[in-house]
Amino acid sequence: MSEGSPIRATIAGSLPKPGWLAETEKLWPKWRQSGRDLEIAKQDAALLWIKLQEEAGIDIVTDGEQFRMHFVHGFLERIDGIDWNLKTKMGIRNNRYVVEVPTVTGPLARRASVHGDEARFCRAHTKNALKVTLPGPMTICDTIADAHYGRRADMAMAVADVLNAEARELADLGADVIQFDEPAFNVFMDDVSAWGIAALERAAAGLRCKTAVHICYGYGIEANIKWKQTLGGEWRQYEAIFPAINRSRIGQVSLECAASKVPISLISLLPDKEILVGAIDVATATVETPEAVAAVLREAMRHADRARIQACTNCGLAPLPRDVAVGKLRALGAGARLA
């Protein structure tokens, strides 16, 4: 990419669900339709967001996760080996929040495609590059209880195999980027080196498309905002994991940089990766100006070559009001062009 070519824009993944599809401004919303009506409503919502992303100048679009209720359980719902009636109370992300999670009671197996039809639908409705997001192995293991494998690292490898089969199918269907969401990487930094990267690479093995990992400080919900207040004046979690990530075979790293206390200079620890610079804050309903977005990108360019940088959101926009999310998409697209 030459000096003057525009910076490409993408998003971390999720977008708000329209009110006719599901409850709004919730991370675990209830669907408002059922059966065939629900399937059609999900497609309509995905189409709406694809077009809004295109209009906003987002180069690499997603389905906004309109097909799944939650970014982890949407995938697990169709995996064998999980008892959804056996709920275990678990403090997830190192006890940041307590959730009732389903329990793994047997070997995990993918009996059929999970997101294949959805990817096919999106591929047919956009000429832009398409990103499909999947939860990463460590984050899945931190969002589900284990009554079968015994060691989290062992369960992560089984999860990685299931993810890999899905990811290969999604790539074959025309996904240009498969992104694994690993917010847990910022919480269990020792485990990242011990087995997290190995599980991630196993999930991404043999993919012919680009691969990405998204590592953030979570959605803009109360529990995360409170957690961030305990992290001190400088957030250096990335520093512990970047060297190992840079040595990995994952191509892109999606990061939280806007309005965060992450020293942006830490991206210099990722010299061999494409960097998706989070330039949109997901913890505020205030819509950024394009100038503010461009400022974050320019700051990032002081520590990584421009050709390796993409403009992105800090995290998913799912819990935000719809009009705010549209405004943020437009600011992101315009800011990328400005930079």
Give the residues lining the site for Zn ion (CB under 5 A). Answer: 216, 315
Q: By C-beta, is 184 or 315 nearer to Zn ion? A: 315
* Per-residue DSSP letter, 112: S
For the four alpha carbons of 119, 123, 126 and 131, in that order, the dihedral sign comes to: positive
Residue type, 75: F
Q: By C-beta, is 163 or 315 nearer to Zn ion? A: 315
CB of 317 to Zn ion, least distance (A): 10
The beta-carbon contacts of 302-308 under 8 Å, at least 24 apart in sequence, are 302/264, 302/265, 303/264, 303/265, 303/267, 303/268, 304/267, 304/268, 304/270, 304/271, 304/275, 306/1, 306/3, 306/7, 307/1, 308/273, 308/274, 308/275
Q: Residues 171, 208: contact at Cβ < 8 Å?
A: yes
* Per-residue DSSP letter, 216: -
CB of 111 to Zn ion, least distance (A): 29
Name the token pair of 188.
């269990």
Q: By C-beta, is 69 or 158 nearer to Zn ion? A: 69
DSSP class per residue in 37-73: HHHHHHHHHHHHHHHHHHHHT-SEE--TTTT-SSTTH
CB of 2 to Zn ion, least distance (A): 31
Q: Which residues pair with 10 in a beta bridge?
A: 60
Angle between helices 322-338 and 35-56 in degrees, nearest 10: 30
CB of 218 to Zn ion, least distance (A): 6
CB of 214 to Zn ion, least distance (A): 6
CB of 335 to Zn ion, least distance (A): 19
Q: By C-beta, is 159 or 312 nearer to Zn ion? A: 312
Q: By C-beta, is 108 or 144 nearer to Zn ion? A: 144
Q: By C-beta, is 79 or 315 nearer to Zn ion? A: 315
3-state secondary structure 267-317: HHHCCCCEEEEECCCCCCCCCCCHHHHHHHHHHHHCCCCHHHEEEECCCCC
CB of 185 to Zn ion, least distance (A): 11
Q: By C-beta, is 52 or 315 nearer to Zn ion? A: 315
CB of 216 to Zn ion, least distance (A): 3
Distance CA 296, CA 277 (A): 8
Q: By C-beta, is 216 or 309 nearer to Zn ion? A: 216
Distance CA 1, CA 4 (A): 8
